[in-house]
Amino acid sequence: MKTPVCDYEGSDYRTRFWENQGREYEDLTERIAINRMMPPTGDTLIEIGAGFGRLADEYRGYKRVVLMDYSSTLLAEAREHLGDDPKFIYVAADWYKMPFVDNLFDTVTQVRTIHHAADVPALFKQLNRIIRPNGNYILEFANKLNLKAILRYWLGRQDWNPFNHDPIEFVELNFDFHPTYIKEELTKANFKHGRILTTSHFRIGFLKRTIPTGFLVWLDSVASLTGPLWQLTPSVFVHSVPQKSGGSATIASVDAFFACPETGEPLTEIDGKLTNSKGQTWEKKNGIYDFKNPVS
């Protein structure tokens, strides 16, 4: 049975949720967290669930940047925003069947998307496969154990228990996660759980309307350093490093990049088309590699 995937195809997510929607505070605090955890330069980076490319400008220190999302229309918006910069590679794919060779990326980022993951262990397994030994995985997750949820639970205004470690699906394919659950699943997937930063300490409408954004962001950047002590904010960032040995630690060759999402065999691109040994073909359309469905 196929694991369900949240599909933003044709969505107005950029204009409905971000542009002129009063979320400058959240945007800036997330950029600060990413830059604190992510090496500023490197060879190859991938953002999982890149959407319309909101954070893409933070990755310009990398030689190759893959923006991967399930939605081709959001990736088209990202491509329009970023222009023809050859370092950006746009890939529409299912994150449970990633079309990349093993040990390819030295940095993986994932912000505001894991809350759509119905099968976190399967996702972490894929990420561990495509990331290089000693690479960097920067994950942001929606925190189940946040102060608002705790207060609502204590006041009887919320049925689910924020202290329970199991994920809570509050809307279809929208999950909040307990920090302990994330740590345990990362460990099971052979990631070494590392630095923690908390963000969105002041995600309150009244504060955002009355306090200058720059000052509120600065306060948040200071408060985020308390992440190792407690995680009670709605948003938490975690830096993890894959633990690999033997054959699983062999870095991908310089010429290898795409792989069949079904079999994992390396694919060679000819005139914008990639074909596996069974004759299945995926192609690049309008600048986006589409691996959701083979064309033949």
Identify whether 6 is part of a domain. no
Among 225, 231, 135, 136, smallest CA distance to 183 is for 231
Identify whether 30 is part of a domain. yes
Identify whether 222 is part of a domain. yes
Q: CA 101, CA 85: separation in Å to the nearest integer? A: 23
Our count of domains for the chain comes to: 1
pLDDT of residue 254: 67
Rg (CA), the chain: 19
Domain containing 273 — which CATH number? Answer: 3.40.50.150
Identify whether 111 is part of a domain. yes
Q: CA 283, CA 91: separation in Å to the nearest integer? A: 10
pLDDT of residue 289: 97
The residues that bridge with 288 in the sheet, in sequence order, are: 90, 285
Q: CA 200, CA 108: separation in Å to the nearest integer? A: 22
E-strand spans in 144-261? 168-171, 174-176, 191-199, 235-242
Q: CA 55, CA 62: separation in Å to the nearest integer? A: 13
Identify whether 239 is part of a domain. yes
pLDDT of residue 181: 98
Identify whether 105 is part of a domain. yes
Contacts 24+ apart (CB under 8 A), 59-62: 59/109, 60/87, 62/87, 62/107
pLDDT of residue 236: 98
CB 127 within 8 A of CB 156: no
Q: How distant, in Å, are the alpha carbons of 45, 67, 187, 191 from that of 133?
A: 14, 21, 15, 10
The residues that bridge with 285 in the sheet, in sequence order, are: 288
Identify whether 2 is part of a domain. no
Identify whether 113 is part of a domain. yes
Per-residue pLDDT tens digits of the chain, which is 296 residues long = 789 999 999 999 999 999 999 999 999 999 999 999 999 999 999 999 999 999 999 999 999 999 999 999 999 999 999 988 999 999 999 999 999 999 999 999 999 999 999 999 999 999 999 999 999 999 999 999 999 999 999 999 999 999 999 999 999 999 999 999 999 999 999 999 999 999 999 999 999 999 999 999 999 999 999 999 999 999 999 999 999 987 677 777 767 899 999 999 999 899 989 999 999 999 999 999 999 989 98
- Supply the range of the domain harboring residue 97: 13-290
Q: Phi then psi for 157, rounded to 5 degrees? A: -100, 5
Here the tokens at position 262 are 């079904």
Q: CA 22, CA 205: separation in Å to the nearest integer? A: 9
pLDDT of residue 41: 98
Here the tokens at position 78 are 């990202």
Give the SS3 label for residue 132.
strand
Here the tokens at position 199 are 């963000």
Give the SS3 label for residue 84.
coil
